[in-house]
A and B are shown apart, each in its own frame.
Chain A
Amino acid sequence: MLRRFLKQDLVWAAFLLILAAAFGLVKHWGLVNLSFQGKLAAHLEEVRAHRRQVQFQGVKTLKLAQAYELFQQGQTLFIDARKPQEYAELHIQGAVNLPPEKLREPDNPALTSIDKARRIVVYCGEANCDVALQVAEKLQSQGFTQVAAFLEGFKAWDEAGYPADTSK
């Protein structure tokens, strides 16, 4: 008896799945079509870039080569906006860890010790994380004048083989 009901339920579940597939494909045909054409990733990047332009307008951004050039000059402070555990694993050499939650702490010594006119580059894990932009925007609102977000993030830095370490 149990088996008969299970079979019935499976048939109905399959029907509901087909119904969901039909609705989903019709409602999001644009998305499905882009993915069939292999253009989904590029389109998502465009959408993300547009959203960031609107959401974080006024925040300067840097490419990997520009960030590395500043690193080589040695004057720039790199801020790692990832979680402390990720920072402890590996980070850009000389970077300090400042995740968004630390920015909420009033009179945070990590912040008060930084010269407001110093050049700062903020980064997070990879290209699709917004944390670097959030932290850069927050720093700007707190009076830091030369802040930029390095959008490709630590993943790109590490893959390029640029200097990274585990020390604090």
Chain B
Amino acid sequence: MPKKRNWFLLRLLGVVLGGIFFYAGLQKHYHAYEFAEAVLAYQLAPMWLAGVVAAVLPWVELIAGGLLVAGLKRRSCLLLLTLLTASFLVILVVTMARGLKIDCGCGLFFQTEVGPVSMLQDTVLLVWAGGLYWWELTAVSSKQ
């Protein structure tokens, strides 16, 4: 019984995580030009790549988040989100080290500057997605 309860809780955590990313993707999709401005502010990618990132990244979040909520291809979605948050954490560290004071483009409900708060937020999402992925992966391989 406790195992079943754990399973339900972990599935619920997956749905909530998917919902967060779906919402974030939707925000970026509908404000693509503002998001492109945020991507350019990092001064990490050439302009042509910044445009591609601003166009594609919202859809990565929409598809991975949406499928996670729907319970389809959960492990792949979690893996994708883990890689996404891990890469973003590296970008945040580099940006902080460079001393840039810019909007992170990652705030869900209000603007957040690149700094400890955005790093903490991303770390929580990374542990959340990575932890769930590891749990699902070990659970399915132990069944086989």
Contact = CB atoms under 8 A, between A and B. Distances in A.
B76 to A, nearest CB: 4
B76 A16 contact: yes
B17 interface: no
Interface string A1-28: 1100110011011011101110111011
A40 B60 contact: no
Given A9-B76, A16-B67, A44-B40, A25 B52 contact: yes
Interface stretch (B29-37, B85-93, B119-127): B29-37
B57 to A, nearest CB: 7
Interface in A22-75: 23-25, 27-29, 31-32, 34-36, 38, 40-41, 43-44, 47-48
11 contacts: A9-B75, A13-B77, A16-B67, A20-B60, A31-B36, A31-B51, A31-B55, A32-B52, A36-B48, A40-B47, A44-B37
Interface of A: 1-2, 5-6, 9-10, 12-13, 15-17, 19-21, 23-25, 27-29, 31-32, 34-36, 38, 40-41, 43-44, 47-48, 86, 125, 128
Given A2-B141, A9-B75, 8 more contacts: A1-B144, A10-B76, A16-B80, A24-B58, A35-B52, A40-B36, A40-B51, A41-B40
